[in-house]
Every structure is written in C-alpha cells, then in structure tokens.
Amino acid sequence: MNRRHAKKSPPAAEVELEAESVGARGDAIAQGPVYVPGLLPGERAIVEVRGERGRVKEILSESPERVRPFCPIHERCGGCSLQHWAADAYRTWKRELVVTALRREGVSGHVAPLLHAHGQGRRRATLHAKRSGSDLVFGYTMRAGHAIVDAKDCPVAHGLIRKSFPALRNLADRLTPDRGQLDIAVTATDGGLDVSCAWPGEITLDHRLTAAELAAKEGWARISLKAEPAAERTRPYVQFGRARVVPPPGGFLQATKAGEEALAERAMKAVRGAKRIADLYAGCGAFALRAAEFAPVLAVEGDPAPLAALRHGADHTQGLKPVETRHRDLALEPMSVKELEPFDAVIMDPPRTGAKTQAERLADSRVPVVVSISCNPATFARDAAILIEGGYEMDTVTPVDQFAWTGHVETIAAFRRR
C-alpha cells in the first residue's frame, strides 16, 4: 500500500457505555454515536472504541432479552448479526425499521406484523476461500472487515447447502489459487445445488476436470467456473408458479423460497384482474411468470442473463398469456408515462437504491395499481412518498423476514390510484 495514502485508524479508548437502541444494520447504538456489534438495548459494557466503532470487551449488565446464539461463529461472522436477541424483541425491532423509514418520509399507513419467511433456510450463499500459508480459510466474510471467518456449517442456510459444506471446502481447497480469493456462490434450486466459482486467473483443464468430478460425486445439479457452466448433471431450475426457470450461474433469487412465495402471493392478489401487467426489475421472472398465468406481461430487466432465463421459462411453459421481455436500464431510461399507458398494473422490485425516477413517472401516470417491493426500507419509503404525492393510496405494508437474524428486511405494499 502507498504509505502516503495509508489511512491511520483512530486511537482506541476503553470506555464504559450503555447501548440505547439497535441500528438498521443490527449494531447497538450508544451515545456518541458509537456503533457496537453484539450489544442489546439497555446493556452496559466495557467497549474498545475507535472513532464511531466499538468492540465489546466485557458485558457488565445483560439484557433479559439476551439469548444464546445457535451458531458457534455468530460473533465474528458477517452473515447474521442478531442471533443473540430474543425472537419477540427482534421481530418488533425489525418491523420498526420499516415504520421508522416511512415516518422519516412523512408517510403514514398500516404496517403489518413482521412475516416470518425463513422457511427451509436461505437458498443463496456466497462462500470465500483464501490460503494462509499451507492452511485454507473457507467461510464467510467477517463482520466489519474483509477477512474470512472459517465456517464448518451455516445453520441458517438451506439443507442442501449445509449438507454440501465439507464438499464445498474440498472444492475450495482444490481451486483456490496461492494468491487471491476464490468466491463460491451456491444456490439451493428446486432442481438441486447450483455452484458457481470465481477467482482471479485463468481457467485450466485441470480446474474443469476437478469441478466436473466433484459435481458428479456430490450430485450437484450444475457447476460453473467464472459464470461458464463446466458440468450440468440436471437442470438447476426454480419453479415460479407453473413456469420452470434455470437462473444464470450465481443469479439473483429472493433469499428464501418462503419469502418469494409470500411476496408473490401478495403481489398476485394486488394485480389479479388486471388486463396487462408490467413487471419492472423482473430478474428471472419470479413475479412476471406467475402473473402471466392470468394476464399478458411485459418484463423489463437491466441484466441480459436473468432476462434470457425468463424468456426461456416463458417459451417452455404451456398455457401462459403472452410474455414480452425488454432489456433496459430503468435508472437511465425509466418507463415513460406514455409507455405505461397500456398497463393497469405495475410490479416493481428494484435494487437497494430504489426506483426514484421510475416512481416519478408512475406518479404522473394513470396506472391504477402499483406493487412496490424492496429490500431497503429507506428507498421503499422514499418511493412510496413519491407515489402518494402523485395520487396513490398505500395499502397495508408488509415487512417480510427472509433474512432472519440480520438487519435486512423485505417490504411489500400495493398502491392504488385514488
């Protein structure tokens, strides 16, 4: 690292402090503010403080809401941040994230209780591996840092992923280069495990043979190296209603199947009866293909790979209404008021940054129903305020917990023209 540009970390001080609340990322907040992972509201602790970050040295008074985390690496792993909090208190806090975000934008409305949607566990995980001398470190990224925490299991993951941990470590051991990191994205699809590996450097014949050999031995559906399938034993499909879709290697899916079904059920209920539906930020079609069971759908998506998967799914499912797919960057070029005219329902499920410009076009449109789905309460609330300002009324907002024991929450609500 260039010394002149090396950032000096602020000096550490050991202080006694009391946690007042838990912030949106799951860290406790004490006066300062100081963000302290692992503390709960009301707890006093000796904390090593550097700038705004704190590290618990000793808890002096424990909250009655403190419970024993069920994962042995919970304190270090960046995956879950709140396994140490009793379920009821955790659920109240998580719902409150959505309530607070709406309040900040001046949006009032009914927020339903948090919907538990962990189901069979998280179906997507990204594991990392690095060499440290002759040892291999294999696991998840550490909380507040880039280092890897060695993991032997992940109790919040889908059973297919958990069962494959030893084999994935073996794969990592055989593919991880001497320098640089290997990333393995695993997805528990309805057709079996889909494994996708990426690392800096060339793919050799040896890499391909290793990948194919392990996939065959373990019965994985597919294994890809740098997004190119190296072996496909069975189709790693996901079922969206009647349609079967094979997502691209490492492609986006809602975190749990139960979460996707909860969102889809609410979205379909809101748009049922529509004569033409647009699904914006459609991914590989979790909502578009379900909606196409009763109405023609336009699916718009900025990434060509999931859009091709959606297209293939639509083309190979009998009895669907027509599905049009459109590749488009909706941040640069949102659907205009004129383009929105033929639709009487729009579903939008943007990334964390939200859909500000698209919401502005919808606010000027005459589309009767908009379903907004988001993984970020702040941008959900901002976009909700835009729609309401444009004359929509917001139905019940449902927070859906598919990232249990983390600070992430999915939110869905329908908006109807007054």
Ligand X SMILES: C[S@@+](CC[C@H](N)C(=O)[O-])C[C@H]1O[C@@H](n2cnc3c(N)ncnc32)[C@H](O)[C@@H]1O
Active site residues: 375
In the complex, least distance from residue 281 CB atom to ligand X, rounded to whole angstroms: 3
CB of 62 closer than 8 Å to CB of 122: no
Among 90, 252, 343, 415, binds ligand X (CB under 6 A): 252
Query: Which x/- pattern over 289-328 shows residues binding ligand X (rule: CB under 6 A)?
Result: ------------xxx--x----------------------
Least spacing, CB of residue 129 vs ligand X, in Å: 26
Q: Kind of pairing, strands 297-301 and 392-394?
A: unpaired
Binding of ligand X by 268 (CB under 6 A) = no
Touching ligand X, residues 338-367 (CB under 6 A): 349-351
237 annotated ligand binder:
no
Q: How far is the CB of 205 from ligand X (least distance, A)?
A: 32
Find out whether 96 and 41 touch, Cβ atoms under 8 Å: no
- Amino acid code (one letter) for 269: K
Task: Tell me if 227 contacts ligand X by CB under 6 A.
Answer: no
* Nearer Cβ to ligand X (210/254): 254
Residue 20 in marked binding region: no
Counting other chains too, the contacts that 232-240 makes at CB distance below 8 Å and 24 or more residues apart are 233/192, 234/191, 234/192, 235/191, 236/187, 236/189, 236/191, 236/192, 236/193, 236/194, 237/189, 237/190, 237/191, 238/189, 238/190, 238/191, 238/284, 239/190, 240/264, 240/285, 240/286, 240/289, 240/290, 240/313
Q: Please tell me whether residue 286 binds ligand X under the rule CB under 6 A.
A: yes
Residue 331 interacting with ligand X (CB under 6 A): yes
Dihedral, CA of residue 323, residue 325, residue 330 and residue 335, to nearest 10: -50
402 binds ligand X, rule: CB under 6 A: no
Give yes or no for residue 281 binding ligand X (CB under 6 A).
yes
Coil, helix or strand at residue 172: helix
265 is in an annotated binding site: no
Dihedral sign, Cα of residue 169, residue 175, residue 179, residue 181: negative
d(C-alpha 95, C-alpha 376), whole Å:
13
The answer to whether 110 touches 397, Cβ cutoff 8 Å, is yes
How many chain residues bind ligand X (CB under 6 A)? Answer: 18
281 carries a ligand binding annotation: yes
Q: Which amino acid is at 98?
A: V
The least CB distance from residue 238 to ligand X, in Å, is 9
Q: Does the protein bind ligand X through residue 283 (CB under 6 A)?
A: yes
Which range, of 8-16, 180-188, 223-231, 275-283, touches ligand X by CB under 6 A?
275-283
DSSP 8-state symbol, 3: G
Asked whether the beta carbons of 132 and 148 are under 8 A apart, the reply is no
Which of 38, 285 has the CB closer to ligand X?
A: 285
- Residue (38 or 350) nearer to ligand X, CB: 350
Chain position carrying tokens 């009301």? 42
The pattern of x and - marking residues 187 through 226 that bind ligand X according to CB under 6 A reads: ----------------------------------------
In total, the chain counts a number of residues equal to 418
Binding residues for S-adenosyl-L-methionine: 254, 281, 301, 349
Residue ranges that bind ligand X, judged by CB under 6 A: 252-254, 281-283, 286-287, 301-303, 306, 329-331, 349-351
